[in-house]
Chain A
Amino acid sequence: MSFDLIAAILILIWIFIYSSSYGVWTWNKKNRIGGAAVLLVSLAALVFPLYLIFFRT
């Protein structure tokens, strides 16, 4: 596994944690739909790049 790949995965994880923590904060602020949407987007921001990196040929 190259350094570039590790850096990309770390950045993805960082983005996921940060944005999902924002989603949780939004959820706690009684904005349920907003919170759920942000969590969904943050999950997509992690899953799609990982799929492109590892599974797409």
Chain B
Amino acid sequence: MALLRKTLKEYLFFTEPDKPDDFVLEEGKDEGNESCNDAVKDGSGEKREKTEKVRKSKGVIKKLFTPEREDTACYGYDSNADNSEKNESDVKKESKDPESIKRKTSISKDVARNLEYMRKVYNVPLNGDVVIREFEIAFKDKTIPAFSIFFDGLVDRMLVNESILKPLMLLSNIEIKGKEDDIADYVQKHILPQSQMLLEESYEKVIFGINYGCCAIFIDGVDKVFVADAKGWEHRGIERPNAELVIQGPQEGFGEILRINTALIRKILKDEKLIVEDILIGERSKTPCSMLYIKDIVNDSLVQEVRRRLKGVKIDHLIDSGELEQLIEDSTYLPTPQVIYTERPDRVSRYLANGRIAIIVSGSPFALVVPATMWNLFHATEDEYVRFPYANLLRVVRLFAIFLTLLLPGIYIAITNYHHEMIPTDLLLAIEASREKVPFPSVFELLIMEVSFELIREAGIRIPGPIGPTLGIVGALILGQAAVSANIVSPILIIIVAVTGIGSFAIPNFSLAYSFRLQRFAYIALGATAGFLGISFGLFIMFLWIAKAKSFGVPVLVPYGPTTADVNKGNIFRNPTWKQNRRPDDLNVKSKNSQQEISRQWKINEEEN
């Protein structure tokens, strides 16, 4: 009876909903005592405890806090960084694997054994690009056998010859004033002039160094290996960014070399608080990634969250930042992107200065910036460089472009099929007259054109050289005209599809434009089935979905949903530069002000005079 009463009450009367999950940025400060105390205070302790248990069982929280790395190697990465993250099953598996045991063991003093082992590891002579050079070092009236090993093409040959092999083979014969009895000390202090060189004690670290473009030197009688930085692979230089061109503003884009990319950012920011934290991703590829943030601005919880996600990525190979984006984003199925994808160092620097975090992957000319809100995706780089009225005009144009891309075909279908009364009679007659000879229903006609347009666009990208843009013109002009002449489509539809396509090109974020292109088909279907009601339903569902979405704990629609103090501060329209005193408040940054309250001090001086 009590149960029936309870059920009836539940269905008959409104009951207060459970409190939603806490904002990640605040709860991440300490997963231990603080959050537990808070949970007890707000009365949701039990629920939180259960969630914690589930998360702990999945091994998420225990990976959140990892000890600081002891040192960064000469190649820039600690080869142990990712090993500490391996889960227990991996450790067990490895502990049984004799090869992995050997790799972690210390290096033999016998150079012949080391040579044999390295030959085995690198499958020499099957592996054609491994270079092993045997030689002898003169040390106190005796010669000591040694060998160097490196990858041809990865190292700078000149550097290896002049700064490593030549000193070891020739300079060791010259009598150098030194009291060292140990050859390792002697070589390190007097023979090798390398600025970045490490003495490694395990095979694993040596192998990692060689794979990353270092030259390893094994010497008989020494149970350590010299790993000298000699990277010298070929790479593309700094070029103009292809996808984010600006008229006014810096013209440098990222390249494929990680250190050059981080240096480009450091060159702009020149801030000693800028941290470039290195993380290796990929069990096999060991792709170096850098996480950049400004320590005294960024929210620590955000840093921990990004670090946790990056270290929680367990894949064999990571090639590009696009893959990483998909592995760390919050929602896989949400059509809109949740990470900012940019190839401009100046844009990354601006985001870093506002308290965001950038992730750069070695080998990728695109940096990821997190967290991303809808407004970040809608802004273009040039917005900050041009005067604010112009920037606002561009933003209005962009909003209009979004409307066209997303809704124009759907609205056309809805009006022509269901809401004839909305358009003036003359226009209606013109539309109908143009469609008179077209044998297909308007929705089918529209789909033919949309698919053709997407086809032309895709083909234009794939076709190499100057033929690509030519195909676009041929497709748009000739095929369009031919389709109209053949009465397959009506002329007004050509205009609709063309305007929609142009609108999608005006969206500054490539991923966002993709998302709207995808959603457009849903709105066509909804407009064709239920007219404006269907489109309204689609918009309602889309906004619900986006309003629920978060990017690294930050709601995607902030500061409008949820509303914050920044609601009127230049998200849709930009404020003048001198008025942008505060950093965005959605990230709870440590330093709220980005400039002085009165940034134009000369104005005061002018008034005083």
Residues from chain B with a CB closer than 8 A to the CB of A17 are 12-13
Residues from chain A with a CB closer than 8 A to the CB of B12 are 14, 17-18, 21
Mask: chain B, 1-32; 1 = CB below 8 Å from A; 0 = not: 00000000001111010000000000000000
Mask: chain A, 20-43; 1 = CB below 8 Å from B; 0 = not: 011001000000000000000000
Top 5 nearest A-B pairs by Cβ distance?
A22-B14, A21-B13, A21-B14, A17-B12, A25-B14
Residues from chain B with a CB closer than 8 A to the CB of A18 are 11-14
Q: What are 14 A-B contacts with C-beta separation under 8 Å?
A: A14-B12, A17-B12, A17-B13, A18-B11, A18-B12, A18-B13, A18-B14, A19-B14, A21-B12, A21-B13, A21-B14, A22-B14, A25-B14, A25-B16
Closest-by-CB residue of B relative to A20 is B14
Since A18-B14, A21-B13 are in contact, a sample of 6 more A-B pairs with Cβ atoms closer than 8 Å, ordered by chain A residue number, is: A17-B12, A18-B11, A18-B12, A21-B12, A22-B14, A25-B16
Closest-by-CB residue of A relative to B9 is A21
- Which bracket fits the contact residues of A? under 10
CA distance A18 to B11 in the complex (A): 8
CB distance from B511 to the nearest CB of A (A): 38
A window 1-22: CB within 8 A of B = 14, 17-19, 21-22
CB distance from B16 to the nearest CB of A (A): 7
- Which bracket fits the contact residues of B? under 10
CA distance A25 to B13 in the complex (A): 10
CB distance from A26 to the nearest CB of B (A): 9
CA distance A44 to B412 in the complex (A): 35
CA distance A21 to B11 in the complex (A): 11
Residues from chain A with a CB closer than 8 A to the CB of B11 are 18
CB distance from B9 to the nearest CB of A (A): 10
CA distance A53 to B52 in the complex (A): 54
Task: Using CB atoms and an 8 Å cutoff, list the residues of chain B in contact with chain A.
Answer: 11-14, 16
CB distance from B267 to the nearest CB of A (A): 53
CA distance A3 to B516 in the complex (A): 48
Residues from chain A with a CB closer than 8 A to the CB of B13 are 17-18, 21
CA distance A4 to B511 in the complex (A): 52
CA distance A43 to B605 in the complex (A): 64
Residues from chain A with a CB closer than 8 A to the CB of B16 are 25
Residues from chain B with a CB closer than 8 A to the CB of A19 are 14
Q: Which of B11, B12, B14, B16 has the most CB of A within 10 A?
A: B14
Closest-by-CB residue of B relative to A14 is B12
Closest-by-CB residue of A relative to B12 is A17
CB distance from A16 to the nearest CB of B (A): 11
CA distance A17 to B93 in the complex (A): 62
Closest-by-CB residue of B relative to A38 is B14
Closest-by-CB residue of A relative to B13 is A21
CB distance from B14 to the nearest CB of A (A): 4
Residues from chain A with a CB closer than 8 A to the CB of B14 are 18-19, 21-22, 25
CA distance A14 to B9 in the complex (A): 11
CA distance A21 to B14 in the complex (A): 6
CA distance A14 to B13 in the complex (A): 9
CA distance A19 to B11 in the complex (A): 11
Residues from chain B with a CB closer than 8 A to the CB of A14 are 12
Closest-by-CB residue of B relative to A25 is B14
CB distance from B23 to the nearest CB of A (A): 21
CA distance A22 to B14 in the complex (A): 5
CB distance from B47 to the nearest CB of A (A): 21
Closest-by-CB residue of B relative to A19 is B14
CA distance A10 to B410 in the complex (A): 39
CA distance A21 to B10 in the complex (A): 11
CB distance from B501 to the nearest CB of A (A): 43
CB distance from B120 to the nearest CB of A (A): 73
Closest-by-CB residue of B relative to A26 is B14
CB distance from A24 to the nearest CB of B (A): 8
CB distance from A55 to the nearest CB of B (A): 27
CA distance A14 to B11 in the complex (A): 9
CA distance A18 to B12 in the complex (A): 5
CA distance A17 to B16 in the complex (A): 15
Closest-by-CB residue of A relative to B16 is A25
Closest-by-CB residue of B relative to A13 is B12
CB distance from A46 to the nearest CB of B (A): 14
CA distance A46 to B406 in the complex (A): 38
Residues from chain B with a CB closer than 8 A to the CB of A21 are 12-14
CB distance from B18 to the nearest CB of A (A): 14
CB distance from A3 to the nearest CB of B (A): 21
CB distance from B399 to the nearest CB of A (A): 30
CA distance A18 to B13 in the complex (A): 5
CA distance A48 to B16 in the complex (A): 28
CA distance A22 to B15 in the complex (A): 8
CB distance from A31 to the nearest CB of B (A): 13
CB distance from A52 to the nearest CB of B (A): 22
Closest-by-CB residue of B relative to A23 is B14
CA distance A21 to B9 in the complex (A): 11
CA distance A2 to B13 in the complex (A): 27
CB distance from B466 to the nearest CB of A (A): 62
CA distance A19 to B12 in the complex (A): 9
CB distance from B570 to the nearest CB of A (A): 30
CB distance from A13 to the nearest CB of B (A): 10
CA distance A22 to B13 in the complex (A): 8
CB distance from B10 to the nearest CB of A (A): 11
CA distance A25 to B15 in the complex (A): 8
Residues from chain B with a CB closer than 8 A to the CB of A25 are 14, 16
CA distance A24 to B14 in the complex (A): 9
